[in-house]
Structure 1
Amino acid sequence: MASLLSGIYKGGDSEATPRIPPPPGACSPSGDGGRGSGGGVGNASSTSTATFSAAMESGGPPIPTPLKAVSYAMSKIAPLSLADTTWDNVGVLLEAPFPRRSKGVFLAIDLTPAVADELLSDANSSISVAIIYHPCIFKPLKALSWSASSDGANSMLIHSLLRLSAAGISIYTPHSALDSAPNGMNDWLAFVVSSDVAFQAAGLAALGGGWAPIQKTKVSQYIEKAGLGRLVSLKESRTIEQIVSRIKKHLRLKYVLVAQAQPPDHQIETIAVQVGSGGSVLQGVYADLYVTGEMSHHELLAANSRGISVILLHHSNSERGYLQDVLVHLLHIFLGEEYGIRVSARDHEPLSVM
C-alpha cells in the first residue's frame, strides 16, 4: 500500500476560504488543443495566469475559433496527457464543420437527448462549444447518418451529434484528465468531504492544498499532485453522520447511500475519495471511510470486511457540482470575461429514490 499512496491531505475543517491556486502551465500560450499531445506539461511549474486573448497577443499562433480557444483553456486546466487513453476518449470529439463564432460555452456531465435539446434551444443560441465531461463517443460508431440514427443502441446519440454539428456546436471532453489534474474533480471532492466552508465565486477554496493523489499518472513526474483519487486526513475527527451531513450540504443532495463497517459513534480521521466509479482506484487503500460515486456489491463487501465504511453519492452526483463550483471560474481565468459560460439545467443524475 505504501507504494500506492503518495501523500496525505493535512488540511480540512478549515474556517478560512483561501484563493484557488493556478492550474499547471497557466502562463504558457502553447496548448494541447486536440487529442493528447501533452500541452502544458513542460510548463507545470508556472504560477501566473494568462487569458487566451493575452496569449495570442503575446506572440502565440493565431487560433481564431471558439473551439480552439476552449481547447487551449482546457489544456491549461487539465492537460490531455493526464488522461488514461488506454480506455478513455478525450479531447475534441465533435468539430462542427461550419462552427458558430459566438463566444458561448456550455457545461454538462452527460450528453443526453434532454441536454442536446437544451443546447439547441433559443436560450442557448450563443453557445458554440459544449464541454461534456463524459465521452459521448466511447465505443466506435459504425455510421453517422440520419438512417443510422433511426434504430439501434446509439440512435439517440447519433441523432444528437448530427443535430449539434449542423447547428455549428462542437464538443470537447476532458474526463479522466480532469479527474487527475491539480484543482480538478478529485481535489474538489476532497474539499467537499473535509471542509464546512461553502464554495463562493468571489473566493474559491484552495484545492490540492497539502494533499497528493492515491494513484500517480504516467506523467505525474512533470505535474505535481496529478493523479487519481485523494487521501484526506482530517484535522478534527468526525462521525459518519457528520460527514454525511457535510456532503449533503455541499452537493445539495437529499440522500446518499451508506455501507457502515463501524458503530455510528466511530471517529473518522482519514477519507479516501474518487469521483465517479471508485472501486478500482480505492482498492487496497486503507482509510476509515471511502467516498465515491458508485462501487459494485462485492467491492462494498470487501471494503466493509476491512473495517472501512463507504458513502456512495451516485456516479454523476460525485462530479456535477465541480462544473459550477470550480470549472466555470477556471474557464473565465483562461478565456477572459468576454466568454459566456453556462452550466446545463437539464443534466442530472438518472437514479432517484421513489
Structure 2
Amino acid sequence: MLAKGQTVIQLMEKFAPKHLAVENDKIGLQLGTLNKEISKVLVALDVTHEVVDEAIALGANLIVAHHAIIFRPLANLRTDTPMGALYEKLIKNDIAVYISHTNLDVAEGGMNDWMAELVGIANPKPLEELQSEKLYKLVAYVPKSHHQGVLDAVLAAGAGAIGDYSHCSFNTEGTGTFLPGEGTHPHLGSPGKLERAEEIRIETIVPDGLRSKVVQAMLKAHPYEEVAYDLYLLEQKGKSFGLGRVGKLDEPKTLAELTEVVKKGFDVPAARVVGDPNRLIKKAAVLGGSGSRYIHHAIRQGADVLITGDIDYHTAHDALMAGLSIIDPGHNSEKVMKREVAELLGRMLEQSGSGTTVHASEPNTEPFRFV
C-alpha cells in the first residue's frame, strides 16, 4: 500500500515541525499536490534540472528538498525562462516539491546535529537559541486503588522529564469530596449522596508538544466519569531549539587536522580556512548554510572555530582579529541531509506499513568548481 502525500509530509513534519522554522522562511509545499499516492520520494538539497530528470527516471512523484524553488512571489510563470522551464517540467511530470529548510536545521537530530556529529562535537547546544518549549504542570486527583495505573500511564506518555531525569512526579495523599448528580454512574458512591474518597494528588511536568497525548493517557487510565485535573503553564523553560550547534570536541585537534575531518565528513574537495593551521581547537561551532552573521555568536559561546559556509572577505578579517578561526567548506556541505533524511523518512514509512520508498538524490548540485 502506497502512502498518500499528506501522510509522507506528516511524518516529515513530525521530525522537523514547521513551527521550528525561522519567520518568513520559504517552507512547505511549493509546487504540485499532496492529494495523491506517492510511489517514490526523492530527497535533494537543491531542485535543479538534473535532479528533476533523476526523479523522472526514478519514477518519483515527490521531491523533499532543503532549498526552496520559489523565494518570492512570481510576477508571471513563463516557460521560456530557466526557472519557468523547471516548473513546467515538474508540473508535466506530476512531481510535487516540498521544502524543509530552517525547521530541519533547528530540529533536534536534524541538519546541525548531523554536522556536529561529523565534526566530532560532544553534547552540542544551539549556537543561537530561537525558542524554548513551554512546560506545563499536570495535577490529577486519583483514587488510591488506581493511583499506580494512572501514574504509569502519564509517565509512559512522556510526562515527568526534567533534564536528564525521567519519571519525575510528586504524590500526596488526601481526601476528595464529590456529590454525584442524577443520571451519573460514579465509580465510587451513589447519586445524590455526598462521597468522601481517599485520593492521591499526582503532580508531574508535561512538555507542550505532549499535552494532548498525556491528558488522553490519563483520562483513559482514570476510573472516574469526570476527572478532576489541572494544567498550569510554568515560567521555567523546557528544551531549547535554535540554529547552529556548539560544544567541545571529543578530542582536541589542530585547525589543520580538523579541516581534514570536515573535508572528509562533508565530502568536499577543499575548504577555505581562516587562522593558524597549528592552533589547537578544543571547542567548535557549526552552522549549515550561510554563517557570516554568526561569528559573534560563536565568539560569545567561547568557540575556537566556526565551521560554516559563504564567509565573505570582511567577515573573515573580523573573525581573524577577534581570535576566531573559520573553516568554510561551502554552502553545499549541507548535502549531508540527503542521506540522513532519506534513511529517516524511509524508516518511518516502512514502520507505518507503507510501500512508498525514499531515495537520496545523487547529482552534485555544487555550483562552484575547484580548479
2:363 aligned to 324, 333, 346, which one?
346
User: Residue 89 and residue 102 in structure 1: after superposition, are their counterparts in 2 closer, same or farther (change >3 A)?
Assistant: closer
Corresponding residue number in structure 1 for 2:205: none
**Does 2:194 align with 1:258?**
no
Coordinate RMSD, CA, aligned: 2.1
The Cα of 1:95 is off from its aligned counterpart by: 2.1
Corresponding residue number in structure 2 for 1:149: 79
SS of 1:217's partner is strand
2:348 aligned to 334, 339, 343, which one?
334
Corresponding residue number in structure 1 for 2:12: 74
Q: Give yes or no for contact 2:126–2:244 (8 Å, CA) kept in 1.
A: yes
Identity %: 27
The Cα of 1:282 is off from its aligned counterpart by: 3.5
Corresponding residue number in structure 2 for 1:91: 28
Tell me whether 220-229 or 336-345 shows the greater mean CA deviation.
Answer: 220-229
Corresponding residue number in structure 1 for 2:85: 159
SS of 2:79's partner is helix
Whole-angstrom distance in 1 between the partners of 2:313 and 2:329: 15
Tell me whether 165-174 or 65-74 shows the greater mean CA deviation.
Answer: 65-74
Of Structure 1 and Structure 2, the greater helix share is in 2
1:226 aligned to 241, 248, 251, which one?
241
Deviation digits for residues 8-63 of structure 1, max 9, x if unmatched?
A: xxxxxxxxxxxxxxxxxxxxxxxxxxxxxxxxxxxxxxxxxxxxx9xxxxxxxxxx
Corresponding residue number in structure 1 for 2:102: 176
Corresponding residue number in structure 1 for 2:283: 270
SS of 1:149's partner is coil
- Mind listing any 5+ residue stretches in structure 1 that lack a counterpart? 1-52, 54-63, 196-208
Runs of 4+ in 1 over 3 A off after TM superposition: 96-99, 218-223
| TM-score, length-scaled by structure 1 | 0.69
Deviation digits for residues 142-199 of structure 1, max 9, x if unmatched?
A: 223xxx121xxxx22222222212222111101110011101110111111117xxxx
| TM-score, length-scaled by structure 2 | 0.66
Q: Which AA in structure 2 matches 1:217? A: L
2:321 aligned to 302, 305, 326, which one?
305
Matches within 5 A, 1:1-354: 66-86=4-24, 88-96=25-33, 99=36, 101-121=37-57, 124-125=58-59, 127-144=60-77, 148-150=78-80, 155-194=81-120, 210-218=123-131, 220-221=133-134, 224-260=239-275, 262=276, 264-286=277-299, 287-317=303-333, 319-324=334-339, 326-336=340-350, 338-354=355-371
Structure showing greater radius of gyration is 2
Q: Which AA in structure 2 matches 1:69? A: T
Q: Which AA in structure 2 matches 1:255? A: A
Whole-angstrom distance in 1 between the partners of 2:364 and 2:124: 30
Q: Which AA in structure 2 matches 1:72? A: Q
